[in-house]
Structure 1
Amino acid sequence: MFHFLIPMNKQNETIENVLHDIYNLILTKGTREWEREQLIIAKDALAQEINVQSELSKLEAKLRPLALRNNLTPDVMDFYLKITGNTVDVQQEAYTRDNDNFAYQERAVFAGGCFWCMVEPFETQAGIVSVLSGYTGGKIEHPTYDQVSSGLSGHVEAVEIIFDQRIISYRDLVELYWQITDPTDAFGQFQDRGNHYHPIIFVQDHQQRQIAEQSKAELAFNYSQPIVTEIRQAETFWPAENYHQAFYKKQPKRYKAIKRARQQLLFYQTIKRKLHG
């Protein structure tokens, strides 16, 4: 259980101070929309003078996954550290104690066209802890969807996958990645065109690089065209806006239409490749 820096025995003063911080974060332009939604929920509860510690515990639990990955926006991270009274490293130790599976979890990042179509294939596999849509590979900090889709930020749309190594391996994920992308298309993926849809495997360490490069070399025997999917060292992963997360669940009809078109193009290219040897 984490401990607050703020004096919980001064209930009225505590509510006033916390609400002040939360209001400022809600109004701050740089606050990510998903973060703002969580802050508004906490604000509304605290405004009704509900137990401060209980509400902050709920807020901390929601912010924790991104805090542990250092992916909260700067001001929200400062607030997170303030209400916990600890560094992220200490929080990660606490999180590890609360989660027996943490030591078996590994991270993978793949870019393969629109991230709307990259979540479901991975998230529905056994052993997947979470799949987050986001941006990586560019030079702008805290990029927005508009900046990335303009093609000028240098980022690509990607998914960050946390998985349990005991159930599914990194090699399994790489093999699935090849099945849902076109490794010969350097200018996008299927109906998604532009540099921000470029296919890239972002590796976390030497072991992942070895697995990805070996798998890529083996894949080349199945294609007459060059494999253009890049293998690059992982960079900062910036979570996308909340409306992009779990898109296939939020917009099932729209997602199915996009997925169907993607699968048809993938099937067509598979048949074409077989016919032309």
Structure 2
Amino acid sequence: MILSKLSESWEKMKRADITLDEIYNLILNTATREWERKQLLKCKLEIENGTDKEQALGELEYRLRPLAVRNNLTPDIADFYAKLSGEKQDIESFDLTKHFEDDGPDIERAIFAGGCFWCMVEPFETRPGIIAVISGYTGGQSENPTYDEVSRGTSGHVEAVEIIYENKVISYQVLVELYWQLIDPTDDSGQINDRGANYQPIIFVRDEEQKKIANASKEKLKQSRKFTKPIVVPIRKVEKFWPAENYHQDFYKKNRVRYRRIENSRKQYLAYLKLKGWLKRKFNKK
């Protein structure tokens, strides 16, 4: 009983250090997600309207807790939550070292956009020869875009993955062939349940060799007549790639249940499209 009261007193002391200015700065932080901003704003208004500060902060901690335990808060909010809860949070940061390193003689990169990047990581990352798969944004005008900006369509970027690989183990040709299996190449307005320009499928090529391989693979897909509609995925010159926030990296590892639900939905839809194409080819032959 005594230990419980001491622990409760310690949490109150930690929360007493939290100021309205600190909450306000997080509300204004462009990296704060809209849902997180709403929770902070609600807490701030409650305190300003006379609610006991300890009670308001306690309720805020309760609302943030489900995302905190799944490492799904944005970095600044994760740090704030650690202070709010009075406990050291084990928020693992994604290692972006490989993104900034110079590539060796046998190391290459590929960038693909194919709808939500949550479902574009595991299929590549689990292949031999893959060094890293990084979720991020590319193809737009603004610098250092945030998830909210990209989602609102104000930055011009699309969600994409940067794949760093050993070309002696896995080829760019194999990566492109795998890419076609993950997307609906007939949809240039999004992918499956993800709608909007920020989810447009695009192949970004780094040099003439990648461009040649991508174009040949696209033509091969057209000739296969696997889909009932035209193949509309553009092939564009690579642009600066901006790594996404920590909570988006390795999403399939951090949120297994949610990821599998989204992944299964995509697989079912793509299987349906392929079945339609197969039926069309079969009846056309008859």
Which TM bucket (shorter chain)? 0.5 to 0.7
User: Partner residue of 1:114?
Assistant: 116
Change (3 A) 1:220 1:174: same
* Inter-partner Cα distance in structure 1 for 2:172 and 2:277: 27
- Report the CA distance between 1:221 and its aligned residue: 1.2
User: Partner residue of 1:185?
Assistant: 187
User: Partner residue of 1:255?
Assistant: 259
Change (3 A) 1:169 1:63: closer
The 3-state SS of whatever aligns with 2:214 is: helix
* Inter-partner Cα distance in structure 1 for 2:76 and 2:208: 37
User: Partner residue of 1:273?
Assistant: 277
Matches for 1:48-197 after TM superposition, within 5 Å = 64-68=97-101, 92=102, 102-197=104-199
User: Partner residue of 2:212?
Assistant: 210
Q: Which runs of 5+ in 2 are unaligned?
A: 1-25, 33-72, 81-92, 282-286
Change (3 A) 1:260 1:134: same
- Check the 8 A contact 2:117/2:161 in 1, yes or no: yes
Opposite residue 131 of structure 1, the aligned amino acid is: V
Change (3 A) 1:205 1:257: same
TM-score, normalisation: structure 1: 0.67
Opposite residue 205 of structure 1, the aligned amino acid is: D
- Report the CA distance between 1:63 and its aligned residue: 6.0
Opposite residue 183 of structure 2, the aligned amino acid is: T
* Inter-partner Cα distance in structure 1 for 2:75 and 2:100: 11
The count of residues paired between Structure 1 and Structure 2 equals 201
Percent identical residues: 54
Is 1:239 matched with 2:243? Answer: yes
Change (3 A) 1:239 1:266: same
Change (3 A) 1:253 1:207: same
- Report the CA distance between 1:180 and its aligned residue: 0.8
The 3-state SS of whatever aligns with 2:187 is: coil
User: Deviation above 6 Å: which 4+ runs of structure 1?
Assistant: 30-37
User: Partner residue of 1:47?
Assistant: none
- Report the CA distance between 1:136 and its aligned residue: 0.2
The 3-state SS of whatever aligns with 1:276 is: helix
Change (3 A) 1:249 1:271: same
Opposite residue 251 of structure 1, the aligned amino acid is: N
TM-score, normalisation: structure 2: 0.65
Opposite residue 137 of structure 1, the aligned amino acid is: G
The 3-state SS of whatever aligns with 2:154 is: coil
* Inter-partner Cα distance in structure 2 for 1:166 and 1:266: 31
* Inter-partner Cα distance in structure 1 for 2:244 and 2:140: 14
- Check the 8 A contact 2:138/2:157 in 1, yes or no: yes
Change (3 A) 1:199 1:167: same
* Inter-partner Cα distance in structure 2 for 1:217 and 1:149: 31
- Report the CA distance between 1:153 and its aligned residue: 1.4
The 3-state SS of whatever aligns with 1:146 is: helix
Opposite residue 158 of structure 1, the aligned amino acid is: A
- Report the CA distance between 1:192 and its aligned residue: 1.1
- Report the CA distance between 1:261 and its aligned residue: 0.4
* Inter-partner Cα distance in structure 2 for 1:194 and 1:152: 11
The 3-state SS of whatever aligns with 1:162 is: strand
- Report the CA distance between 1:207 and its aligned residue: 0.4
The 3-state SS of whatever aligns with 2:163 is: strand
Change (3 A) 1:260 1:268: same
Opposite residue 213 of structure 1, the aligned amino acid is: N
* Inter-partner Cα distance in structure 1 for 2:151 and 2:252: 20
- Check the 8 A contact 2:222/2:231 in 1, yes or no: yes
Opposite residue 163 of structure 1, the aligned amino acid is: Y
* Inter-partner Cα distance in structure 2 for 1:208 and 1:151: 28
* Inter-partner Cα distance in structure 1 for 2:274 and 2:96: 42
- Report the CA distance between 1:275 and its aligned residue: 1.1
Change (3 A) 1:116 1:126: same
C-alpha RMSD of matched pairs (Å):
2.7
* Inter-partner Cα distance in structure 1 for 2:273 and 2:174: 23
- Report the CA distance between 1:67 and its aligned residue: 3.5
